[in-house]
Structure 1
């Protein structure tokens, strides 16, 4: 699946984006619609990877609507969640309510990320100045006179150089681009990891998309239609200990916190069906250097709970396109524009990470005093006590700290 022949030794473009996740593809689509020649490189041959952030937030749906693509997107199979729920002490509690959001779509769309990425790539491919190179792994950056001037990627047909006035690192929390650029990372740690697995979905299962239980672990469920994507939260770095106790002990632990029937966990037959997601929260001290910008998880890794990472990546992409599309198109990119993107997105990033760290601090204290106190984190208990707070969490989850709107004038002025 390749638009640009990888056998070309050199490709010249106006912007090369490393990574075809939600942020990278959204940026590529927006820049191409604004008249910028853009090339996206992706190290995998397709988008088919399990257990990725699969939430399309109301703010993202608004962006898709601005682009005139909402009707087509909602034809892609998905589950709509106007509220998120948790089980607390056997009682179903709404922890996030999107019904009062000032948006067209007052729900989160749970859609397999590969379907969402396929949709963005399909729409972007309709534009003659959008190019995507699959099976192209970034191996190095090209530097010229102190500026980043492109990247080098390894493909099945050999190495390819892609030269551009701007390289964008959208290649996730293990970003090669940010490492090769020597950008300094500030890490804030995380007390938990998540073990992902699949359990079958039966007609009489609970009608909610999230659940929590137990004094030490949480349990998250995402409705995929014919199966549940389940996340079991464990102490940071404890997966080896969990495995040492055996698969049967693990099934019993999951059954104890899952609202599904206990025999359902028998579907977890081996450790091959349990996938570790190592949670960490970090961000770059500077998101850019001359000729290079990082966005999304490459700039700021988030905890996966709540889907904040996907939402922030999309918002970063919109802000970057709004600020950079005209300078790129007119060949007058300057450092101040890259700094402006970071300045625009720094506050919502820091505020969201601060919120996640506060939530994790509450969880850590709860774990340390588990013999005296059980149940879900204090912020979840607070929402259960004061239901009106569910609208506030709905706004934070659905829109984020600062939502972005597409600069349609920049897309039309070509």
Structure 2
């Protein structure tokens, strides 16, 4: 629909793809074993996300490696996972074949203009996000809340003008710019080359602070959860 409407996104380079899969979660395992902070190896990283009855695992390595990884075979892939997270070694049999592994071609882009007469793009349609930080769904929901707040009255009148659609982009574009800039910076840190089990480009002091200072750890969590411009449901939606 974007292409048919003549809305062309600006594409940003992304240095990695993500292979998603699930691993079983034991009943006595709490959230501590999972973390959005990656485990690093040479030219690869892995995150483990806590779900209700399983772990959602993301394996990251350089873009364009899908065919090579699959050609190496599933046992070699299990070994890559085992090397990054030895504590998951007891459940890697859950990866029976590459049918259990889904590759995400990571894209990062943004429309220059989100609308034309009769059409408004929000969420991924307006700005495809990297999975870094897991903020794509947050921004999409915030876009929807802003659109509801700004367009409800014009929709009731039956007169949605271009400037009404433009007001949604004006409100939601600044946080999108900030988050995508942060993601591009994070990409450079994560995949400028990894060594010694930590990403190149990250100062040791920052790594120490992130691990040992609870208040500092809370700042990125709050930014991920609420974003730089939180939205709130309009009064008519709370009735």
Asked whether the 8 Å contact 1:212–1:376 carries over to 2, the reply is: no
- d(CA) in 1 for partners of 2:181 and 2:205? 18
Q: TM-score, normalised by structure 2?
A: 0.89
What's the Cα RMSD here? 2.1
Question: Which of 212, 225, 243 is the equivalent residue of 2:70?
Answer: 243
Q: Distance in 2 between matches of 1:246 and 1:340?
A: 51
Q: Which secondary structure does the structure 1 equivalent of 2:198 belong to?
A: coil
4+ runs of 1 displaced by more than 6 Å? none
How many angstroms apart in 1 are the aligned matches of 2:104 and 2:223? 24
Indicate the residue corresponding to 1:384 in structure 2: 207
Q: Check the 8 A contact 1:326/1:410 in 2, yes or no.
A: no
Deviations 1:325-363 (A, max 9, x none): 000101121111111100000100010000000000112
Structure 1 unaligned residues grouped into runs of 5+: 1-176
Q: Deviations along 1:274-300, whole A, 9 cap, x unmatched? A: 110111110001001111110000000
Q: Secondary structure at the match of 2:87?
A: coil
**Whose helix fraction is larger, Structure 1's or Structure 2's?**
2
Matches within 5 A, 1:299-378: 299-367=126-194, 370=195, 373-376=196-199, 378=201
1:305 Cα shift?
A: 2.9
State whether residues 17 and 61 of structure 2, in contact with CA within 8 Å, keep that contact through their aligned partners in structure 1. Answer: yes
Distance 1:182 1:381, change over 3 A: farther
Residue number among 260, 266, 279 corresponding to 2:106 in the alignment: 279
Matched position secondary structure for 1:343: helix
Q: 1:207 Cα shift?
A: 3.7
Instruction: Report what 1:99 is aligned to.
Output: none
Alpha-carbon spacing, 1:256–1:242, altered in 2? closer, same or farther (3 Å) = same
Equivalence map 1:13-412=2 (5 Å): 177-203=1-27, 205=29, 207-208=31-32, 209-210=34-35, 211-367=38-194, 370=195, 373-376=196-199, 378-379=201-202, 383-386=206-209, 387=213, 388-409=215-236
The CA distance in 1 between the partners of 2:61 and 2:192, in whole Å, is 14
Aligned to 2:133, the other structure's residue is in SS state helix
Distance 1:247 1:346, change over 3 A: same
Aligned equivalents of 2:152, 2:200: Cα separation in 1: 43
Residue aligned with 1:302, SS:
coil
| Change in 2 beyond 3 A, CA 1:379/1:399 | farther
CA–CA separation in structure 2 for the residues paired with 1:284 and 1:296: 11
Q: Give aligned pairs, total.
A: 232
Question: Greater CA radius of gyration, 1 or 2?
Answer: 1
Deviation at 1:206, TM superposition (A): 6.3
Distance in 1 separating the partners of 2:85 and 2:122: 35
TM-score (norm 1): 0.53
Consecutive unaligned residues of structure 2, counting only runs of 5 or more, are none
C-alpha distance in 2 between matches for 1:310 and 1:409: 23
Q: Deviations over 1:219-245 (max 9, x none)?
A: 111222322111111111101111111
Given that residues 194 and 231 in structure 1 are in contact (C-alpha distance below 8 angstroms), is that contact kept between their aligned partners in structure 2? yes
